[in-house]
Amino acid sequence: MNFLAHIFLAQHSQAAMLGGILGDFVPIRHSYVFPDEMNLEIKIHRLIDSYTDGHPAVLAAKSVFPATSRRYAGILLDIYFDFLLSAHWSNFSTLPRKDLIASFYQGINHYQAILPPKLRDISDHMVAHDWLGGYAHWDGVSWAVQRTARRLSRNGDALIAGLPVLREAHDYFDQQFLLFFPQLQQYTEISRAEIQRHYPDRI
């Protein structure tokens, strides 16, 4: 899953939402000192990614991509699922999307001093250009894919080549997302409760 989905699936304190994306920026064994709320959501982030990668609806969606871009289907779908989450937001939350995003941005600024370097390097751009709000529009999806392609060490063009597939198969991806995401929500809530119950002192 991509930034917006991880933030949404985290508990909605500023620290927890930030922890929701930290899994992309810190190694499994790291020396950073984070608040407990962040540490918990880093663990949840990794469980979410593993669950997503093996879910039948996601695997079916990946199979739509041609061989030339299938290697990057997971990245493309992660970004597109933020677009679909934005489109169906009211199905999953009573909290306005803009309010959640604004709170997250405030948290980015508040916790700037403890952000890992890779996140700190992009945080100003993320807030100034409203990356999370941008996922509600196709242009934001396209920009996110191109931004990600520039960060790849090679074959960024293969990632960009998958963009037309997202548009052409929108209805199918939308269907698979609506099958998958409620199950992911349930899995996330159960996993968090189990971690908190069984390992209260080892978050």
Q: What is the pTM assigned to this prediction?
A: 0.92
At residue 203, does pLDDT exceed 70? no
Residue 126 lies in a domain: yes
Q: Which string of b and e fits 137-176 if b means at least 16 CB within 10 Å?
A: eeebbbbbbeebbeeeeeebeebbbbbebbeebeeebbeb
pLDDT of the residue at 38: 92
**Is pLDDT of 158 > 70?**
yes
Domain count, the chain: 1
| 97 pLDDT higher than 80 | yes
Residues 171-191 pLDDT 10s: 999 999 999 999 999 999 999
Does residue 203 sit within a domain?
A: no
The verdict on residue 178 lying in a domain is yes
pLDDT mean over 10-29: 91
**Beta carbons of 44 and 10 less than 8 angstroms apart:** yes
12 vs 5: CA distance, rounded Å: 12
Domain extent, residue 41, equals 3-198
* Residue-wise pLDDT tens digits, 107-144: 999 999 999 999 999 999 999 999 999 999 999 999 99
Q: Is the pLDDT of residue 199 over 90?
A: no
On the question of pLDDT at 1 being above 90, the answer is no
- Whether the pLDDT of residue 201 is over 60: the answer is no
Instruction: Return the percentage of the chain with pLDDT > 90, whole number.
Output: 76
Query: pLDDT (tens digit, 9 = 90+) per residue, 36-93?
Result: 899 999 999 999 999 999 999 999 999 999 988 888 999 999 999 999 999 999 999 9
Q: Could you tell me the two tokens for 2? A: 């991509």
Q: Which pLDDT score is estimated for 153? A: 62
Output the pLDDT for position 6.
97
